[in-house]
Amino acid sequence: MTRPGSHGRDAARRGVVARADDRSGRERPVGEIAHGDHLCLAFADDTEQQRVITAYLRTGLRRGERVMYFADQCAPGRILDWLRAAGVDPGPATDSGQLTVTTAEKGYLATGSFDADTMVGTLHGEIARSIASGFTGFRVSGEMSWALRGVPGAERLNEYETKVSEVFAGQPASAICQYDARRFYPAALHFFDHCHPATVRPEPLHTSTSLQIVPSFHGGRRALRVVGVVGHQSAGALASALETALGWPGDITVDMGGMEFLDLAGVRALVRVAEQLPRTRQLHIVDLDPMLCHVFQVVGWDQIPSIAVSARETRDGTR
C-alpha cells in the first residue's frame, strides 16, 4: 500500500468535502405530487405503503379529484380502513363515484390477461370522464404484484409504464404504481423504477438543515441515502439510521452519492455497524468520494470483511 502524504492524513483526521451528485431530483414527496406526474413507489414494509397511499388518496379527495385504486395484495376493504384511520370517511366519496377501490383483476386483468394498449386506453378514458363529470382531475394508484403471477401479457408491463407517462403528461391527472421490494427481484425493481419519470420519496429517517438520511433503493436493493454533511454533531443521526438498517433483512447499502462531507465520527459509525454484522451480511458503502475511499484503504477499514466500498464516478468517468 502506498504511504499517504500529509493531505491524505489530514483528510482522515478531518473528513472529506465532496462535490455531491445529488440524486434526489427524481424523488417527490407525496404531498407535492401534481397533475401530469407518473411515479413509482418502491416499498419494503406495509407501514410505508400505508403512509404514502393514504396521503395520496386523501389529498385527491380533498382537492375534488376523482380517485381510483387497484388492489392486489391488499384487499379493497383494507384501503378503505386506511382512510378511516386517517380521519376520512370514504362512504360519501364511494357513493358519489368520486372514489373507486377495486381489484387488479377488474382493472389491469379485466379481459383475463394484460393488454397494455387496452389499459392505457382505459386510463385515457377515465381522465376524460372525470373532467366531464365535474371533478378537478383524476388520480390513480395500483399494486403491480399481479405481474408476478405469470399473467399473459405481463411481459409488456415496461411498455405500459412508458405509455402511461405519455398519457398523463400535461393532463389533470396523476398516478402512483406500487412495487413491493419484498416480491420483485432487485434487477426488476430497478428496471421498473426507471420506467417512470420519477419516484415517491420515502419519509426521511433524519432531516435537518445540513443532513438528510432517507430510506431508498440502489440498484433495486433497499438502501440508506445520505445527503449533506455528516459532522461530529450529526454522526449520531447516521448511527441511529444504521441501527434501523440493521433490522432490515440481507446486506445494508449506504448510498453516499449525495454526501458533501463526512468526518471521522461518521466513519466510525459505519465501521461499528459493519463490525456487528454476521458473516452472512455486508455493509456496502457505495458512490463514496474517491478521496475518502483512499482514506479507507490507508487506515485499513477496507480490510474489514463485512465492509465493501465503491467509489463515486468523477466527471471524466473515472473512480
pTM of the predicted model as reported, rounded to 2 decimal places: 0.84
pLDDT on residue 99: 98
| Per-residue pLDDT at 316 | 55
Over residues 202-211, the mean pLDDT reads: 93
User: What confidence tier does 302 reach under pLDDT thresholds 50, 70, 90?
Assistant: confident
Residue whose C-alpha cell is 398519457 = 167
Comparing CA positions, the residue from 226, 175, 181 lying closest to residue 23 is 226
Q: Terminal CA-to-CA distance of the chain, rounded, Å?
A: 18
Does residue 91 sit within a domain?
Answer: yes
* Percent of the chain whose predicted confidence (pLDDT) is above 70: 91
Statement to judge: residues 118 and 216 lie in one domain: no
**How would residue 296 be classed by pLDDT, with cut points 50, 70 and 90?**
confident
Structural domains counted in the chain: 2
At 11, is the pLDDT very low, low, confident or very high (cuts 50, 70, 90)?
Answer: very low
Q: Which domain covers residue 220, as residue numbers?
A: 6-24+204-311
- What pLDDT, in 10s, does the model give residues 109-147? 999 999 999 999 999 999 999 999 999 999 999 999 999
CATH of the domain at 294: 3.30.750.24
Q: Which CATH number do you get for residue 100?
A: 3.40.50.300
- Give me the chain's average pLDDT, please: 89
Residue 318, pLDDT > 90, answer no
> Do 226 and 153 belong together in one domain?
no
Query: Which of these three, 151, 182, 200, is where a domain ends?
Result: 200
Q: Tell me, what's the pLDDT at 23?
A: 54
Pick left, alpha or beta for residue 99 (phi over 0 → left; psi -120 to 50 → alpha; otherwise beta): beta
pLDDT digits (tens, 9 = 90+) for 171-182: 999 999 999 999
Helix (H) or strand (E) holding 267: helix 264-276
CB contact at 8 A, 204 and 212: yes
Q: What is the CA radius of gyration of the chain?
A: 22
In the structure, what pLDDT confidence band is assigned to residue 9 with cuts at 50, 70 and 90?
Answer: very low
Q: Which alpha helices (H) appear in 43-201, and where do they start and end? A: 46-62, 76-85, 91-96, 116-132, 157-168, 186-193
Single residue among 200, 229, 264 that ends a domain in this structure: 200
In a shared domain, residues 39 and 166: yes
Q: For residue 65, what are the CA distances in angstroms to 52, 68, 92, 107?
A: 17, 10, 14, 19
Instruction: Kindly state the percentage of the chain with pLDDT values over 90.
Output: 79
pLDDT at 216: 92
What confidence tens digit (pLDDT) does each residue in 240-279 have?
A: 999 999 999 999 999 999 998 998 899 999 999 999 999 9
Q: Is the pLDDT of residue 12 over 90?
A: no
Q: How confident is the model at residue 291 (pLDDT cuts 50, 70, 90)?
A: confident
Strand-pairing partners, residue 258, are 227
The three cell numbers locating residue 319: 473512480
**Are 52 and 165 part of one and the same domain?**
yes
Grid cell, residue 19, equals 462535490
Q: Which of 200, 224, 242 is a domain's end point?
A: 200
Q: How much of the chain is in helix, strand and coil states, percent to nearest 5? A: 40, 25, 35
